[in-house]
Amino acid sequence: MGTPGPLESFSRLGAYPLSSRDGLFAELVPLTEGNPHLAEALSRVSLAFAELPLRELQEGYTRAFDLMPAAPLYAGHHLFGEDTQRRTQFLVRLQEACQDHGIDLGGELPDFLPHVLTLASRLGDPSRARLLREEVLLPVLEKCVVALQGSPWRTVAELWLAACHDAQKAAVPAAPPPVPLGANG
């Protein structure tokens, strides 16, 4: 497997914080070179996290994502709510895709957002990756950004959303050059 793309690399910010994130931010900065939008989004995450002691980051993570979460980190929850049949079908398809692309679930469900971001980065078929971003990641992350108002973790959702939008823009095929008027076939 090659170098992880921005979505996969940024997904690491979704793990429960066990230590300072300074080293992780240093690793992520080069991924934003030449992209001021992503650089600013990553800077906002870094600033939000730098101001908080580890214990407060952990408590904020638990409040935001675990205990009566404002924005659970599970795509199926956002997409299907209490419709367990549709969510189960979604989980089965994601689990197969994660296995096919070497994604270690580490005890999490396959719809855990960091796993879905990683999958979007690893899918070899650009049209499937675009569809995953369009139908799953973008709507879920938009909901998370709204739900995480006032939380430092909102900055992570904003970074993921920005990275997904950038990947979508990059995936748009270039339009064919215009045909000059009066040209014969």
Model confidence at 166, pLDDT cuts 50, 70, 90, reads very high
User: CA-CA distance, 50 to 45, in Å (whole number)?
Assistant: 8
Note whether residue 162 is domain-resident.
yes
**CATH number for 82:** 1.10.3480
Is residue 152 domain-resident?
Answer: yes
Residue 102, pLDDT score: 95
Residue 154 lies in a domain: yes
| pLDDT at res. 62 | 93
Helix (H, G, I), strand (E, B) or coil at 112: strand
Within-domain flag for 124: yes
C-alpha 80, offset from chain centre: 18
Average pLDDT, integer, range 141-157: 94
Do residues 105 and 113 lie in contact, with contact meaning Cβ atoms separated by under 8 Å? no
Mean of the pLDDT values across residues 47-62?
A: 91
Residue 91 forms part of a structural domain: yes
Total number of domains in the chain:
1
**Is 67 inside any structural domain?**
yes
Polymer length in residues for the chain: 185
Contact in structure between 10 and 160 (CB atoms under 8 Å): yes
Query: Does pLDDT of 6 surpass 70?
Result: yes
Domain of 103?
Answer: 6-170
How remote is the C-alpha of 155 from its chain's centroid? Answer: 12
The answer to whether position 177 is within a domain reads no
Q: Is residue 181 part of a domain?
A: no
Q: Which amino acid is at 105?
A: L
> What pLDDT sits at residue 171?
75
pLDDT above 90 for 178: no
How many CB atoms lie under 10 A from the CB of residue 104? Answer: 10
